[in-house]
A and B are shown apart, each in its own frame.
Chain A
Amino acid sequence: MTDVARFSDPELARGILDEIAATVTRPWSIMEVCGGQTHAIIRHGIDTLLPTDVRLIHGPGCPVCVTALEIIDRALAIASRPEVVFCSFGDMLRVPGSSRDLYSVRAEGGDVRVVYSPLDAVRIAEAEPDREVVFFAVGFETTAPANAMAVHQAHQRGVENFSVLVSHVLVPPAIEAIVTAPDCQVDAFLAAGHVCTVMGTDEYERLADQHRVPIVVTGFEPLDVLDGIRRAVHQLEDGRTEVENAYARAVRAPGNEHARRMLDEVFETTDRKWRGIGPIAASGWRLAPEYRRFDAEQRFEVADLTVNENPACRSGEVLRGVLRPDECPAFGSSCTPRHPLGATMVSSEGACAAYFHYRGAAAATGAT
């Protein structure tokens, strides 16, 4: 049995499911914060195996989904410039801006390249000194350390033709925005394991305390997710509101000190607009003053470009957990992975895309 297979062992899963069923006495709603967890839940049908009293709400933890429309439009504007090599993770290429996507820019002659690490973009900048190389730095606390390292290396090595379009967002302010919203239906959170691998769990202690909500740091394999749900249900039934670490094989309370030092060095906290949710105070990172010259928004003067969302898209409600993807009138009809109204349908980690791919037509018609 492979390492991965051990974390989806059917016997163990059955045991955890039985324990959850024996524990739960009333309806609970649990939000998994991370898009990777949403994917595991839908792909393995975990939600269909749980007792009906345990409802999973899919949270805002997909970086592609929550990147504001105007950031996408800024990316498109920069990528269209003839002197620019625009480097991005592949997932961002099909995210629609106001009128097109990065694939269209490429088809029109733009130099858009898929890379697997921001350090590759720095290498491209060094290899092609007469071009302006821009890396699209999206994501949560998980992708930020590598992006910080790329900027730091460019700074140290004097790679002045490198810059980053930064749209980093942070999990704890999003949890706080969801839990304080008047229509909040979330009783407990499964925190994103990989985010905590970097940042540790300290910040979640305050959230659990202040908002009286259980938070279980959870991994991504089927058994990880089930164990997170099991612990959350126990806390809810016991009336406890603690931070629990169900992903101890990867997460330590202080996080990764080296990564945090690099983040502190290169980034500073800023307000961010979240796609579908709106502005959240102090919910993102931007480059610190010493590194600001690597800021692509300033270098290419696109910071003033602002746009509003398509009102037909209700991804904001999906991201806040108020609306299930298949409850949206557009789901599977006017909104499909092929013609997405919003990023939750584009990204492979998006809740709407996960529903569409793994539930298909059944979800679109409400059948099971």
Chain B
Amino acid sequence: MSFEWSCPAPLRDYDRITIGHGGGGLLTEDLIRHLFLPGFGAAAAEAGADDAAIVEVGGQRIAFSTDSYVVRPLFFPGGDIGRLAVHGTVNDLAMVGATPLALSTAFVLEEGVGLDMVARVATSMGEAATEAGVMLITGDTKVVDAGLADGMYITTAGIGVVPAGIDIGARLARPGDVVIVSGPIGRHGTAVLSVREGLEFGTEIESDCAPLNEMVATMIGTGADIHVLRDLTRGGLAAALCEIATEASVEITVDETSIPVPPAVEAACGFLGLDPIHVANEGTLVAFVHPDDAERVLATMHDHPHGADAVAIGEVSTERPGMVSARTALGSHRVITRPLLEQLPRIC
């Protein structure tokens, strides 16, 4: 059967799924916008740009999110697939201001994988859930033939409650907002890559994999006017800023020198020809905050271990909607674009 993209205008790149379609970049967006949504038809809700959807149930706003984890290797410095699967979904819920409550866990296990390895992952998931304060309440287990799943894939889905009066989303970025990043960027991607490819960069880089819900709760608890929260996963800081600039029709300008990049990440990226702003994180967020509240939010973040190095990196304006640019150390400007596809596949 032949297949036609539903949108007639743009030339499509490929007639099969390539690894880039899973990268969270423009190819993924194409797949959602021009294949999944038309296919789902009337059953599809309007696809928002946020990490979790919000549905109203009996007057209560419930946040709902799901994510699959296919990282290779299963264990890496600073985390493993289980920890990632719990914290990833917890963070997606936290980014719309929700208090995460419960997660489902679905395993696709490869025939032949050691039970000791599955047990290590299960223990790690339990610890991660306790750390994040969520319950693992339902799940599913399937096994596929040897050679099919690189050990295991995990899918988690989660629900949380959005407190009354909280409205946080990419579309809500406003001119004047201060852009805050919660910590050093690029650690997860380079940590996974360093073990996967056997690369060594002098010091070991650890993934930033962490649950952000507790810190987010304290940020919201200050009563500050927080407009946008976004965890910097695939595509890194650049993808997050570009999506927010597009969604809210604003311009975002950051100071390149104020973006915290650990020296080991910088060295690794230099060696691999990557830009740290495009590299994945798993426990780092950006917050867009009303300028009057920025100091207060920063101070609160500094009191939390996951936000100890939080710093303001830029601001929002109206001049060129959709544009993200950086002031360089030399005083010139450069445009920041979304990566077309993930340069480092199978990172989460």
Interface residues of A (CB under 8 A from B): 2, 4-5, 8-10, 13, 42-46, 48-49, 90-91, 103-104, 106-108, 116, 222, 337-339, 348-349, 356-362
Contact = CB atoms under 8 A, between A and B. Distances in A.
A104 B220 CA distance: 46
Given A90-B343, A103-B19, A357 B337 contact: yes
A362 B335 CA distance: 9
Interface in B289-348: 323, 328-335, 337, 340, 343
B118 interface: no
A359 B328 CA distance: 13
B14 interface: yes
B323 A361 contact: yes
B270 interface: yes
Contacts of B141: none
B328 A103 contact: no
Nearest to B332: A45
A103 B330 contact: no
B330 A106 contact: no
Contacts of A45: 328, 330, 332-334
A358 B323 CA distance: 12
B80 to A, nearest CB: 23
B263 interface: yes
B17 interface: yes
B57 to A, nearest CB: 40
Contacts of A106: 18-19
A104 B330 contact: no
Contacts of B16: 104, 107-108
A107 B330 contact: no
B110 interface: no
Given A338-B13, A338-B340, A43 B270 contact: no
Given A338-B26, A360-B323, A107 B14 contact: yes
Nearest to B266: A4
Given A357-B337, A360-B337, A361-B323, A44 B330 contact: yes
A116 B14 contact: no
B146 interface: no
Nearest to B12: A339
B20 interface: yes
A325 B273 CA distance: 21
Nearest to B263: A2
A222 B329 contact: yes
B136 to A, nearest CB: 35
A144 B118 CA distance: 44
Contact of A337 (B199, B273, B331, B340): B340
A358 B335 contact: yes
B334 A358 contact: yes
Contacts of B17: 107
Contact of B13 (A108, A339, A348): A339
Interface string B99-122: 000000000000000000000000
Contacts of B199: 116
Contact of B335 (A46, A339, A349, A359): A359
A222 B334 CA distance: 14
A9 B257 CA distance: 11
Interface string B2-21: 00000000010110111110
Contacts of A358: 334-335
Contacts of A43: 328, 334
Given A46-B330, A357-B337, A359-B335, 16 more contacts: A2-B263, A4-B266, A8-B328, A10-B329, A10-B331, A13-B329, A43-B334, A44-B328, A48-B333, A106-B19, A107-B16, A107-B17, A107-B19, A116-B197, A339-B11, A360-B337
A157 B11 CA distance: 48
B258 to A, nearest CB: 13
Contacts of B267: 4
Instruction: In the A-B complex, list the 10 residue pairs whose CB atoms are closest, starting with the nearest.
Output: A45-B332, A360-B335, A107-B16, A358-B334, A103-B18, A107-B18, A8-B329, A2-B263, A44-B328, A13-B330
Contacts of B11: 339
B255 to A, nearest CB: 12
Interface centre among B267, B272, B332, B340 (most CB of A within 10 A): B332
Interface centre among B13, B18, B333, B337 (most CB of A within 10 A): B18
Nearest to A338: B340
Nearest to B329: A8
A10 B323 contact: no
Interface centre among A5, A10, A90, A338 (most CB of B within 10 A): A338
Nearest to A358: B334
B273 A91 contact: yes
A365 B244 CA distance: 23
Contacts of B330: 8, 10, 13, 44-46, 49, 222
Nearest to A5: B329
Interface in B33-59: none
A107 B19 CA distance: 8
Nearest to A337: B340
A104 B27 CA distance: 14
9 contacts: A10-B330, A13-B330, A45-B328, A45-B333, A45-B334, A103-B19, A108-B16, A338-B26, A339-B13
Nearest to A90: B343
Contacts of B20: 103
Nearest to B267: A4
Interface string B162-196: 00000000000000000000000000000000000
A264 B272 CA distance: 28
A360 B335 CA distance: 6
Contacts of B26: 338
